A and B are shown apart, each in its own frame.
Chain A
């Protein structure tokens, strides 16, 4: 029981909501302490400072005025006090050099004739200017004392006493006002924090719920979050991510389905042919040979499909090998030689237009695969007596490979799909020519992997042109 409570408490304390709230509360407390402490302290110091300036000046002024008298008496001190108007609401005492009070401004309880040995008066009689101020809740109680010097000797002391309740009341009022302000501010801030945390928790909950649902495989789940803040941005990114995951998942399913279908067709042919051999007693040797040849062709097709799939999987899974400078023209010429026999069989002429070197940074196997597949398609899907033109040229910093044929062409509506896996424009002809439906997919993946771009233009019934652009490699510097 206590363990579960402790765990709940631990969860609460480690939650983001608690931490943010605690941080807010700590900041608020600190701000309130500062608001309530410093202004009051500052005011108090200012009052004390102004009292010191004012009272010390008054005491010194009176002391200076009394210095002209050879002997201090209540009369001449009274005259000086009246003349200088230094009394105001303060009490003024003047003593002789022994501390005996000879003048007191109080009308109600004067202390003339008494011995005043206050520390401040002793200090003044010792030649020092003294100021002291004490603040209580009720008043600022201050006193200032100054020596009266006559002919180089201390003749007495002047003592000012001030009891200021007005400034203290003002300070008290300020403190009360600040406390009220703080209370109001705290209320507003706490309400604000609560509202923010409520909204934050709700939105965080939405995100968390979304992550859980997607984790359970519900890729179509979308987070609906209002606003334009970071959480909304995370929500948008999350939605984009799940959309991509959903697409990939669909593509994966489609691919598995297509691959199964493609593998099933040759397997079905093999099954049919082998079954025919088995079911037909006394089959002629020539027929058996013909059937076995068919089986062999289907096996070769299966092998091609498998190799192509493996190629694609490798391209998906691994980055291409470290690129090296490759001459596109040389690769084109080699492929033309390799496809020479096949082209002759279809009655297609291959023309290569390339002069000099056209270097690009690429994986040689990838470049070969791109050139070979494009040229092989151009040959296979051509007309008898047709033509394949292969051109390599430099266009500023780009090397362009163009493979143009005079074949059957591709309908405009199908152009966007031709790089899809197992997509065939003419299914019958493709299978008849031994196509796997993966050639152009492999080309597109390699071009992407080599940092190039592939475009296609086609006119149905007239021919197709593929253009591949690579960044040209310059010696002595990086690819540009």
Chain B
């Protein structure tokens, strides 16, 4: 300890007038810069977005707005494109959450068995997690286009087939975006589950094996129950990530073709920054918030039921 703080001498601290500063005051001073930035750029905007949703406002000048009450929410309720974005968001969220938890859990289990090559596989699966979704989106746009890898493979099998336009076909575009997302984030769930497996109590697993439980039985009765907290966390993070998806969709398809991949975030972006309808865009943003908060509340309820 003395080695860690060689400079400040006893005389300095006695002579220092700062002695009068209480730890509490100092704590406040330490905390204040973070609190100010946080309030200014996160707290104030959260309250503001709830207010703007009740305004007719183009966003150009503050005060240059009219109060329209619930009109923007009524507009959303009657807007088929809003409902399509809503449905796509839910579809995307459910599909990616289910798939990522299956692939993530499967690979975590297999890698935890420490067979030859599992370390390499872990790194390879995790690498895409670190890439910007923009990079992933641009890669998959090329892979899925008329001259992309998938069409090259199809033409190997049937040389006369016409190229499939995965991102240009309203029936295939959303699935394509889901595939790219699962490719990018399987490693994320794998890592979460792998970390969870490392923390499982060893003695329980051993007790199960002494009782003669096979691998399948011990996965079902020891591993999965032991992973409940991790499963909850993984699902919540996937759901929240799915509800706010923007980058992959916007770069790959711009919400098209014909709105077939439009999600809440891309539709909100369009309303705000293409059509300057800040009120309507804020109402859509509130829907994203409400869905995220709802997911978190469900998670907390589920978590507390498990502890009873």
Co-complex (A, B): no
Interface residues of A (CB under 8 A from B): none
Interface residues of B (CB under 8 A from A): none
